[in-house]
Amino acid sequence: MEIRRKSKAGIFLTHFFMWALFAFVMFFYQPLSWGVDLPHRFWWRQGLQVLLMLSIFYFNYLICVPRLLFRGRSVWFVIWIVSVTVFLSFFANRLAEKALPVRVQIERRLMIKVPRARNAFDGFLFTSGLLVLAVSTSIAALQRWQRDQRRHEELQRQQVTAELAYLKAQINPHFFFNTLNSIYALSFGDVQLAREALHTLSRMMRYLLYETQQNQVGLRGEISFLKDHVSLMKLRLHDHTTVEFAEPELTREWLIAPMLLLPFVENAFKHGVSATTPGKIRIALAIQGNRLAMTVENTIVRSSGVSHESGGGIGLDNTRRRLELLYPEKHTLAIYEDADRGIYVVDLTIELA
């Protein structure tokens, strides 16, 4: 509330000083430069002209532009503009002269003959009116564009939040259900390993429930979550599948959007593991300046019957959208098949905060 009040005060002061400058330059500076004693009626007329411009400005800014131009009533808006300019050009000065005649007073006071205009067109009021209409229309259009931008950004933030919630909803039931089954099977054999796996699972659940509610989390925690995910996934792997995980030495706590790296790891396990074919999954993370570089490689398993980037689970389209929204022009992502090595490769770089 206090910020909004200060913002309104700032807008009011800006309008006040801009109008004071406009009135002085357009209506008072030149007559003052003449160095003559002008009658009071002249200054009253100049003040009325300022009030006329003020009225046109705010009527156009607050009513005509929003209700005509922005609602598609362009013809009526053009009629309004033409009407104002015609009135200012041919009638405003005549009406002012009838209401507050100053020509005779100026001629008597200065002892000179004030020349009459050869035609009824008032170029000064025409120019001033066009300037006022153009500025008021431009300001209204700019403010509307800014509001639309803020609304668009808010919708994007809501979309990111919804997508993150969707990611969690996809991860939690499927992953935790399968992991609990693996732990249950371990409990009949290696009880100690089952206990460790259960402890890892509880740590992951705690991270998902509490840490990922923020817009950004520490990279250290995100990497720990990935390691826990990999360790639990390895419980379900056969001996002929190997997993490598390389992590960087963090000298400072970098920030990153939560749950952004997991889809690439999950995708590698989904499409790079076979019950009969030997395979390998390699996950490498590194810090290069202020950038995080991530490479995920997995053996191509043709028997899966689905594309590496499609099928169930989380999928990568959602993650691509999150990267575009959260790190516009601050990330690179390449996903390709290296046929010579028989692997799928994900190369991701993100400029960290």
Q: How many contiguous H segments (helices) and E segments (strands) does the chain have?
A: 11, 7
In the predicted structure, residue 243 carries a pLDDT above the cut 60: yes
Residues 336 and 203 in one domain: yes
pTM greater than the 0.85 cutoff? no
CATH code of the domain covering residue 302:
3.30.565.10
In the predicted structure, residue 259 carries a pLDDT above the cut 50: yes
Residues 161 and 117 in one domain: no
Residues 197 and 71 in one domain: no
Residues 62 and 161 in one domain: no
Q: How far is CA 291 from CA 126, 247, 316, in A?
A: 58, 14, 21
Answer yes or no: is 16 within a domain.
yes
Percentage with pLDDT > 90 across the chain: 29
Mean pLDDT of 54-76: 91
By the 8 A CB rule, do 88 and 55 touch?
no
**DSSP single-letter state for residue 28:** I
Amino acid at 264: F
Q: How far is CA 225 from CA 109, 228, 230, 231, 323, in A?
A: 90, 5, 9, 10, 19
Answer yes or no: is 192 within a domain.
yes
Assigned token pair, 75? 């013809």
Residues 160 and 224 in one domain: yes
Cα 211 from chain centroid (whole Å): 24
In the predicted structure, residue 209 carries a pLDDT above the cut 50: yes
Answer yes or no: is 127 within a domain.
no
Residues 115 and 163 in one domain: no
Answer yes or no: is 292 within a domain.
yes
| Digit-coded pLDDT (tens) for 42-64 | 666 777 788 888 899 999 999 99
Residues 72 and 173 in one domain: no
333 by Cβ neighbours in 10 Å (0-12 / 13-18 / 19+) ranks as: middle
Select the more confidently predicted residue: 321 or 139.
139
Residues 109 and 180 in one domain: no
Select the more confidently predicted residue: 342 or 98.
342
Residue matched to tokens 């799928």:
344
Domain endpoint, select from 76, 103, 121: 121
Answer yes or no: is 66 within a domain.
yes
By the 8 A CB rule, do 48 and 100 touch?
yes
Instruction: Give the highest mean pLDDT range of 33-37, 43-47, 82-86, 165-169.
Output: 82-86
Domain endpoint, select from 101, 121, 141: 121
By the 8 A CB rule, do 253 and 219 touch?
yes
Domain endpoint, select from 68, 102, 121: 121
Task: Report the C-alpha gap between 15 and 9 in whole angstroms.
Answer: 10
Select the more confidently predicted residue: 185 or 290.
290
Q: What mean pLDDT, rounded, does the chain reach?
A: 80
Answer yes or no: is 138 within a domain.
no
Residue-by-residue DSSP string for 46-108? HHHHHHHHHHHHHHIIIIIIIIIITTT-HHHHHHHHHHHHHHHHHTHHHHHHHHS--HHHHHH
Answer yes or no: is 142 within a domain.
no
Per-residue model confidence (pLDDT) at position 273: 81
Residues 100 and 167 in one domain: no
Task: Report the C-alpha gap between 38 and 92 in whole angstroms.
Answer: 21
Residues 239 and 338 in one domain: yes
Residues 179 and 299 in one domain: yes
Assigned token pair, 2? 């206090």
Q: How many distinct structural domains can be found in the chain?
A: 2
Q: Which domain holds residue 267?
A: 155-351
Residues 200 and 300 in one domain: yes
By the 8 A CB rule, do 223 and 247 touch?
yes
User: Within 13 A of 23's CA, how many CA atoms are on the CB side?
Assistant: 19
Answer yes or no: is 147 within a domain.
no
Task: Report the C-alpha gap between 14 and 42 in whole angstroms.
Answer: 28
